[in-house]
């Protein structure tokens, strides 16, 4: 038998272990022998017992699957004990043949890790991970508040109170004032209409016409319950905003390079009701990214920047060697499958994360811009050829590339056509009108008299 007939796999990680993560037990393998595996529980003492057994066995590096959230406690213990831990995607360890058992799983992971066939997943640093917890919890609270708002609208409709017809948002200033008065027992439509905010487009007379109730007490009771739930969620969201602000301030205050940067407020960036209150995200994002103004990109909102800070952070973006790697991790780049020199498929891979969703929302906002910008024109070209879904994905990928270049290469975003926001357009229009009047009346500088 010649050497051509033999294929040897080099051991890349000689002191490697594999762990099959479970909800009630963890299976740990340190080799391929019949006695090279053990089952452990999931309690805290069991996690330290795993670390102790691995130390006694001379293990230096460990590979485990990212199964749900069951891996996080064990991962933290092993990292604290000094092991090199590789957290891998479960789809890379599913090629085992024969009957699937926990023993075979852990030994298969150990074998793949020993010969270097497993790659680690991206994990943010500890500060970013903590901020991510607050931001994700806040997003869940917003979803719950939105659900309570929909139920309030449903019970108002069942009470024949068509508040949703005369106001754009029943949870706005006018809507909430009227709902609270209804829950407190007010039935007179004229008195309810008097609670109209001055910014409301509908008149008091039209609002009063929509507020004649049928008096069903069961629907009124459920409306009160949903109002209490909505207010509770708003209180929880406000407390969450305090924790987010505290985390951001702590990160910035501990870094002198971040603290030295300052930027003026952007009046043209809208702040909706779901944006964290009492937090200057424009300044904090500028300081967090060490002088990089991501808000200069049209379509970028405060929620998009907050998602970027909490999901990857500055150090996390810098861990991607190129912008293509960053876009590929976000699953925004086409997954080209080539065989025989032909491209068989170029679809965007399935799967999503919160940052990808935030960038797609920003891309959708760019597509809705009325004025021409390079990003908006790019969106419209793709939209014309392949449809809006493909245009959103392509523009989101372009945003990811722009963000990577701004953060890593320190390349400022420059719009060659100099996109103007709403307040800038007003100033420019005022200047043009003044210049037109000066030209019309042939005025000179001596004709102006300035009064202090």
pLDDT, one tens digit per residue, over 368-383 is: 988 888 899 899 999 9
Pair (243, 263) in one structural domain? no
User: Is 339 a domain residue?
Assistant: yes
Whether the Cβ atoms of residue 131 and residue 244 lie closer than 8 Å to each other: yes
Whether the Cβ atoms of residue 40 and residue 128 lie closer than 8 Å to each other: no
User: Is 122 a domain residue?
Assistant: no
The CATH number of residue 65's host domain is: 3.30.420.10
Pair (214, 181) in one structural domain? yes
Q: Where a domain ends, among 87, 114, 141? A: 114
3-class SS shares of the chain: helix, strand, coil, % to 5: 55, 5, 40
User: Is 206 a domain residue?
Assistant: yes
- 16 SS3 class: strand
- 372 SS3 class: coil
Whether the Cβ atoms of residue 84 and residue 13 lie closer than 8 Å to each other: no
Q: How many domains does the chain have?
A: 3
Radius of gyration from C-alpha coordinates of the chain: 29
Per the structure, the complete domain to which residue 237 belongs is given by 127-247
Which token pair is 130? 């903590």
User: Helix (H) and strand (E) counts for the chain?
Assistant: 18, 7
- Give percent above pLDDT 90 in the chain: 53
The span from the CA of 443 to the CA of 273, in Å, is 47
Pair (303, 353) in one structural domain? yes
Pair (241, 262) in one structural domain? no
- 344 SS3 class: strand
DSSP character for 98?
A: S
pLDDT at 425: 65
pLDDT in tens, the chain (452 residues): 445 555 567 888 889 999 999 999 999 999 888 888 999 999 999 999 999 999 999 999 999 988 888 999 999 999 999 999 999 887 777 766 666 788 888 989 999 998 888 888 888 888 899 999 999 999 999 999 999 999 999 999 999 999 999 998 999 899 999 999 999 998 999 999 999 988 888 899 999 999 998 989 999 999 999 999 999 999 999 999 999 999 999 999 988 888 888 888 877 677 788 888 888 888 999 999 989 999 888 888 899 999 999 999 889 999 999 999 999 999 998 888 787 778 777 788 777 789 999 999 999 999 998 888 889 989 999 999 999 999 999 999 999 999 999 999 998 887 755 555 556 667 777 777 878 877 877 777 666 665 44
The span from the CA of 430 to the CA of 447, in Å, is 20
- 132 SS3 class: helix
Q: Per residue in 319-336, pLDDT tens?
A: 999 999 999 999 998 888
Pair (158, 221) in one structural domain? yes
Q: Which residue has the tokens 């990003």?
A: 375
The span from the CA of 410 to the CA of 422, in Å, is 27
């Amino acid at each position: 038998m010649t050497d051509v007939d033999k294929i040897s796999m080099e051991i890349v990680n000689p002191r490697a272990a594999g762990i099959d993560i479970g909800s009630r037990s963890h299976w740990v393998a340190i080799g391929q022998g019949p006695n090279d595996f053990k089952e452990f529980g999931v309690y805290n003492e069991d996690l330290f017992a795993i670390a102790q057994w691995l130390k006694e066995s001379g293990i230096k590096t460990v590979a485990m699957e990212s199964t749900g959230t069951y891996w996080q406690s064990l991962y933290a213990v092993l990292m604290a004990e000094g092991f090199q831990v590789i957290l891998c995607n479960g789809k890379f360890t599913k090629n085992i043949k024969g009957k699937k058992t926990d023993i075979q799983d852990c030994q298969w992971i150990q074998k793949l890790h020993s010969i270097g066939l497993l790659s680690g997943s991206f994990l943010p640093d500890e500060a970013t991970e903590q901020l991510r917890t607050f931001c994700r919890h806040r997003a869940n609270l917003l979803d719950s508040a939105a659900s309570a708002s929909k139920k309030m609208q449903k019970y108002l409709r069942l009470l024949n109170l068509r508040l949703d017809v005369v106001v754009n948002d029943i949870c706005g200033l006018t809507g909430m004032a009227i709902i609270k008065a209804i829950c407190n027992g007010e039935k007179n439509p004229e008195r309810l209409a008097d609670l109209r905010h001055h910014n409301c487009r509908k008149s008091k007379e039209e609002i009063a016409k929509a507020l004649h109730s049928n008096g069903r007490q069961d629907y009124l009771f459920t409306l009160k319950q949903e109002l209490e739930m909505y207010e509770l969620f708003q209180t929880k969201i406000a407390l969450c905003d305090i924790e987010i602000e505290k985390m951001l301030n702590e990160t910035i205050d501990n870094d002198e390079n971040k603290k030295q940067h300052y930027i003026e407020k952007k009046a043209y960036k809208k702040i909706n009701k779901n944006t964290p209150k009492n937090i200057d995200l424009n300044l904090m994002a500028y300081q967090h990214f060490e002088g990089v103004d991501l808000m200069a990109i049209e379509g970028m909102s405060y929620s998009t920047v907050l998602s970027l800070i909490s999901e990857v952070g500055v150090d996390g973006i810098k861990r991607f060697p190129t912008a293509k790697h960053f876009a590929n991790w976000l699953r925004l780049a086409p997954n080209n499958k080539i065989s025989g020199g032909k491209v068989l498929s170029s679809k965007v891979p399935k799967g999503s994360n919160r940052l990808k969703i935030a960038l797609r929302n920003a891309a959708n906002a760019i597509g809705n811009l009325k004025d021409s910008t390079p990003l908006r024109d790019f969106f419209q070209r793709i939209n014309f050829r392949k449809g809006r879904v493909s245009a959103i994905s392509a523009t989101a990928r372009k945003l990811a590339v722009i963000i990577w270049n701004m953060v890593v290469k320190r390349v400022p975003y420059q719009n060659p056509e100099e996109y103007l926001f709403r307040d800038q357009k007003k100033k420019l229009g005022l200047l043009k009108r003044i210049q037109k009047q000066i030209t019309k009346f042939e005025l000179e500088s001596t004709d102006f008299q300035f009064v202090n």
